[in-house]
Amino acid sequence: MAQVSLAAEERKLAGKGHLNELRKSGKIPGVLYGKNIETKAVAVDAKEINKLFKTHGEGVLIDLILGEEKYPVIIKEIQRDHLKGVITHIDFYRVSMTDKIEVDLPIILKGEPEGVKAGGVLQHQLHELTIEALPADIPEFIEVDISHLKIGDVLMVKDIKLSDKITVLDDPEEVVVTVLAPAMEEEEAPAGESAEPEVVSKGKEKKEE
């Protein structure tokens, strides 16, 4: 897992009004908590955190610099205003570099399956993998090569190859991707033929008098 630095400041005030003013000034409120640490209310620069996420993603290991202290943290939760498209709050979780942690990592698919080139349809079912590892051994994402998959092939969690330092917590039989056969088009009736079924009379014919 990549490790980057991010400056933070401790905030003393609370309340909705203070948080709104903080956001207007270009800061994002957050909280720092975790093992062997007192919970602290913090704030980080919005431009810096957005630049960090754009470069490294949200699964990055961060050295959060708070005054003269430096804390290794991961992002535990992000709250967003989806109408404005902005981050409104971040939870920073302090980790121990010697203790394993559980995280969800995005699954990135690499390559175009042979089956898709042949007309099949790719169905991506599992988008994240839950793993456990030491912070330094956690990648930013899980890359899976699917270029070899043919029509009808299924790739499961157990098929993903990872480092021996990583433990996968998902069900090994859970499906990640499938290459489906193309949908069959309904055959059209030949021109000139009626689509209506022929009606056969079951009544007896009347004899001519």
The predicted structure's pLDDT at residue 207: 46
The predicted structure's pLDDT at residue 206: 47
* 79 and 119 inside one domain: no
Q: Where are the alpha helices (DSSP H) in the chain?
A: 16-24, 46-56, 114-117
* 10 and 42 inside one domain: yes
* 10 and 67 inside one domain: yes
* 89 and 10 inside one domain: yes
Residue 204, domain member (yes or no): no
Nearest C-alpha neighbor of 60 from the set 114, 141, 152: 141
3-state helix, strand, coil in the chain (%, to 5): 15, 40, 45
Q: Which stretches of the chain drop beneath a pLDDT of 70?
A: 1-2, 13, 184-209
Residue 194, domain member (yes or no): no
How many angstroms separate the Cα of 185 from the Cα of each of 62, 118, 121, 191? Answer: 52, 16, 15, 17
The predicted structure's pLDDT at residue 190: 54
Domain that holds residue 46: 3-95
Domain boundary among 66, 95, 124: 95
The predicted structure's pLDDT at residue 36: 84
**Contact at 8 Å (CB) between 80 and 87?**
yes
The predicted structure's pLDDT at residue 185: 53
CATH code for the domain in which residue 60 is found: 2.40.240.10
* 91 and 109 inside one domain: no
Residue 135 tokens, joined: 């912070």
* 125 and 90 inside one domain: no
Residue 199, domain member (yes or no): no
CATH code for the domain in which residue 159 is found: 2.170.120.20
* 144 and 114 inside one domain: yes
* 89 and 127 inside one domain: no
Nearest C-alpha neighbor of 4 from the set 58, 84, 76, 42: 58
Give the total number of structural domains in the chain.
2
Residue 92 tokens, joined: 């920073």
Q: In degrees, to the nearest 5, what angle opens at C-alpha 100 toward C-alphas 57 and 158?
A: 75
* 31 and 69 inside one domain: yes
